[in-house]
Structure 1
Amino acid sequence: MEVIELLSELVKFDTTNDPGRGIKPPKECPHFIRDTLASWGIESELIERNGYYAVYGEIGKGKPKLLFMAHFDVVPVNREEWETEPFELTIKGDKAYGRGSADDKSNVAAVMLAVRELSKMDLNGKVLFAFTGDEEIGGALAMHIAERLKERENLPEYMINADGIGMRPIIRRRKGFGASITVPAEKVTIKGILKETTFKINTPVIETRHAAYFLPGVDTHPMISLSHFLRNTNFIAVSLEGRFLKSNVVPSEVTLKYLEPGEGENVEVDLGLTKLLRAIVPLVRASIKSEKYSDYGVSITPNLYSSQNGKHTLKLDIRMMGYSQVEIEKVLREILDFNIPEAELIVKSNEKAGYLFTHPEERIVRSMLETLREFSESVEPVEGPGAADSRFFTPYGVKAIDFGPKGGNIHGPNEYVSIESLKILPEVYKKVALKLL
């Protein structure tokens, strides 16, 4: 099957995006995409921004009607959690395992093949396509492409952001924010018993590590459990270690060394770290108001911790259907003033990014639903938990949906894509494009 063969080649490229460790996706993967397209007679260009690459091209003539976009970068892996080699596509039954198999190289492969077939046709308008290498760290390349198309008056009417899951058109997605909280270490010596305990993630319904998919009340976050543990005891933190990967990836486990005060030995503890960890519970329950309805509301997860130069830093991943960075700062500052007045707070978001909110009666949504019914896929439009690069185009009035094959374990170990859904994906993209054209 051609789409599986192409996906297998793409997965072989270790396109891990991990700026915290200075790791960027290598240029060999975008070169492979460009060269493969060229072998099919399709011209494209490499775009480079700050060491990150994208492939961009156009087919057809006339007014731009549709943009396909997908990304080839992936999040880091904990190899010891994987049952297969992450950077080799491993097929077991209907599942193809590998990092990026679902997010998002299966979509890259499917869009490439759809573009190849569309390039052979007499199209009533232009189809644009782009494959980016920095979606997992904010999507600056997608933002650059959106701005460039706007400047050249070349924006499309519609966009299929091939960065979804489940074979259902995603019509709503929240905007992402990042909050960084830093407190000074406060070391003192107290007598007691030194102990250690480990808290682990539990996602009983949907196996994932993606912060946007984390659902309070169903899933257990190790850092929130740790905070609740400290808040209900007189224990004092000594140190914290864990499998911290990225601000939007929930750590699979964290280990707390702590002191139980009383008779025992003299132990150096950290009051600053203790206050920071105890503040997690009120921080993740902050009452932040969003602008539009969302199935998932506002979510706040504490996924990244570091300690250096005598300071502790906790990073929060925040998702909401809105733009209000000022509101987030106000609410979080109030919580910190009650719990850690000396804490330093920085809230960041991309001002040029919006959120996805497309009406279900828009033509692009109806066209996708009609096409899916032709493949015996009867579904309804849904909201996707995570943010995506469509958010850079919606502020310009582009009507967008996110879409992708069935799969699971996105951002987690043993990520997979459903072969049954993947094999029809190129044809789905081609047929939707023809309806819109």
Structure 2
Amino acid sequence: MASVVELLSRLVEVESVNDPSASRYVGVSEGEEVRRILKEHTGLDMELVENEGVPILLYMTGSGRPVTLFMAHFDVVPPGHGWRVTEPFKPLVLEGRLYGRGAADDKSNVAAISLALSGFEPARGTVVAAFTGDEEIGGGRGAGWLAERLRSEGLWPDYVVNGDGSMGAVITRRRNAFNAVVRVKRESGEAEGVSRSVKKLGLRVRGRPTRHAAYFIPGVDTHPLLEAAALVREAGLLASSLSGEWVKSNVLPGSVELEALEPGGDGSGVYDAGLTALLASLIPLSRITPTGLLYSDYGVTATPNVYRLEGGWHEVVVDVRAMTGDRSVVEEAVARSLEESLGSRVEWEYRVEGGGGYLYTPRSAELVRLALAINTSLGLPGEPREAAGASDSRYFSPRGSQAIDYGPLGGNIHGPDEYVYIGHLEVAVEFYRRLASTIHG
């Protein structure tokens, strides 16, 4: 049997990239290549299933209850630029780290789970392993489809061990993700006693060095669009136009440029009353408090990350993170905020999208207690953690499965020179092996 480093190196070489912006998606050929590598290096003979073009690898052993699902994903985000240590798909071992795209997220867990389950036969219950090819683009046709298949076959998992963490900790909470789309109609206005002003504002992240919206910490990090909104709302600027480094709804803009009229001058000018009202509304909108939420270390965050002007309407997409599966409570909170801040002064509309699910498993749950005990015995954190971003656990946790996320310690996830610590990678194999043995004997 190959070492976990050898196996992971082979997996990193597979260019299983999902990149919607380039119409590039992981398909059956990448799934077959991963299946072949796993069989060659671990002996696991996994079934390759295609669902709407998405490859899913499945393996089952044993029968009856309990049912434990070990899950990970083999798709990766685009490599991007700025790699220095190695090329994205040329794995390199250097100073205790293995570098390459997917080395941490998430082929490390594919390798660790595969080796942990190789040759394992449960004394009781059923063990399911599943590796999907669409987590980075939502997971609906992979893990979402898998959830329905297991339910239809009477194999709904009692326990879900999702290998999609990178902290070497047992993750028991992740918030749900929603998009609030707010549109305000363009409306021209004129002002006297003003001067023209251009404000160039940049993102400043003090916490985790990432632009992922889930990790934004209000009061610590500085969001450039919210800073522009504060200038409009508190300093009285009248917005004329807005531009920025927009990427997508869950990525914080790197910079924003606001052209506006500033009070206190001796000139006159034309501004956009619709854009001004929209910007001013973003401050209260970023502080909404939906009701009936489960506990989260991060509370609720709402970050406006995309702006566009289309068909005479200004539109902002706000990434909302909250520990709830009820979209209506988010809709109600957004509506209350907009009614107070916009009222009837301008023409506006909104909608709330998304909300695929969340991860929330109490510390008292059997799976959490077992996982924490094993982690402690391996010299790793013995306290449960909450992670900021979403994962495929959301397709199981709200529907009754005890679920955790787990994974070896790594860094530069979704960035250049992604890596995993080899020592933690080897420990992850042992974690999964012990957990399977403890549950299934």
Shift of 1:336: 1.6
Equivalent residue number for residue 347 of structure 1: 352
2:423 pairs with 1:408: no
Q: Structure 2 vs 1, CA of residues 338 and 83 (structure 1 numbering), >3 Å: closer, same or farther? A: farther
* Partner residue, 2:390: 387
SS at match of 2:131: strand
User: Distance in 1 between the 2:93 and 2:308 partners?
Assistant: 37
When normalised by structure 2's length, the TM-score is: 0.86
- Provide Cα deviations, 1:71-104, integer angstroms capped at 9, x if missing partner: 2334456525988644544555344444433332
Question: 1:233 maps to which residue?
Answer: 235
The one of 356, 376, 379 equivalent to 2:359 is 356
How far 1:20 sits from its partner (Å)? Answer: 5.5
Judging changes above 3 Å, is the alpha-carbon distance between structure 1 residues 28 and 310 closer, same or farther for their aligned structure 2 residues?
Answer: farther
Rounded to whole Å, the distance in 1 between the matches of 2:427 and 2:363 is 23
Cα shift readout 1:109-164 (whole Å, capped 9, x = no counterpart): 2222223343xx46533211111222233321212111111111012221101112
Distance (whole Å) between structure 1 residues aligned to residue 86 and residue 261 of structure 2:
39
Partner of 1:300: 302
**1:366-385 CA deviation, whole Å, 9 max, x = no partner?**
22223223322242112222
1:153 maps to 154
Q: Which moved more, 1:73-82 or 1:392-401?
A: 73-82
1:248-397 superposed matches below 5 A: 248-260=250-262, 262=265, 269-341=271-343, 342-350=347-355, 353-397=356-400
Determine if contact 2:198/2:258 at 8 Å carries over to the other structure.
yes
Structure 2 CA distance, aligned partners of 1:395 and 1:185?
41
Q: Shift in Å at residue 347 of structure 1? A: 0.8
Aligned residue pairs total: 432
CA shift, 1:269, in A, is 4.8
**Structure 2 CA distance, aligned partners of 1:115 and 1:96?**
22
Q: Which amino acid aligns with 2:358?
A: Y
2:430 alignment partner in structure 1: 427
Give the conservation status (yes or no) of the 8 Å contact 1:210–1:412. no
In the aligned structure 2, how far is the partner of 1:7 from the partner of 1:131? Answer: 14
Identify the range of structure 1 (28-37 vs 283-292) with the bigger mean alpha-carbon deviation. 28-37
**Secondary structure class of the residue paired with 1:423:** helix
User: Which piece of structure 1 moves more, 10-19 or 133-142?
Assistant: 10-19
Q: Is the 8 A contact 1:11 1:100 kept in 2?
A: yes
Equivalent position of 2:172 in the other structure: 171
- 8 Å CA contact retained: 1:37, 1:116: no
Q: 5+ residue gaps in structure 1?
A: none
Amino acid at match of 1:418: Y
* Matched residue type, 2:395: F
> Would the aligned equivalents of 1:209 and 1:410 in 2 still touch at CA under 8 Å?
no
Which AA in structure 1 matches 2:104?
Answer: A
2:254 alignment partner AA: S
Distance 2:268 2:22 in 1: 37
Provide structure 2 residue ranges, at least 5 long, that are not aligned to the other structure: none
Flag the 1:395–1:335 CA change in 2: closer, same or farther, 3 A.
closer
Matched AA of 1:126: T
Deviations 1:291-349 (A, max 9, x none): 32221212212222333333332212222222232221122112222333522211123
Q: 1:122 to 1:332 in 2, by over 3 A?
A: closer
In structure 1, give the amino acid aligned to 2:153: R
| Residue of structure 1 equivalent to 2:221 | 219
In the alignment, the residues of structure 2 paired with residue 73 and residue 178 of structure 1 have an alpha-carbon distance, to the nearest angstrom, of 24
The 3 A distance-change label for structure 1 pair 186 and 411 is farther
The CA deviation at 1:395 is 3.6
Equivalent pair of 2:110/2:131 in contact (CA under 8 Å)? yes
Paired residues of 1:208 and 1:408 also in contact (CA < 8 A)? no
| Alignment counterpart, residue 206 of structure 2, candidates 197, 204, 207 | 204
- Identify the residue that residue 129 of structure 2 maps to in structure 1: 129
Measure, in 2, the Cα distance between the counterparts of 1:286 and 1:312.
Answer: 21
Output one character per residue of 1:254-279: Cα deviation in whole Å (capped at 9) or x when no partner: 3334444756797x754333332232
What is the CA RMSD across the aligned residues, in angstroms?
3.1
Change (3 A) 1:414 1:301: farther
- Bigger drift between 82-91 and 56-65 goes to 82-91
Q: Match of 1:69, SS?
A: strand
Contact 1:61 1:123 in 2 (8 A): no
- How big is each residue's C-alpha offset from its partner over 1:173-223, in whole Å with a ceiling of 9 and x where there is no partner? 222222111223345687976554433322223222222222212222222
Q: Partners of 1:228 and 1:81 in 2: how far apart?
A: 36
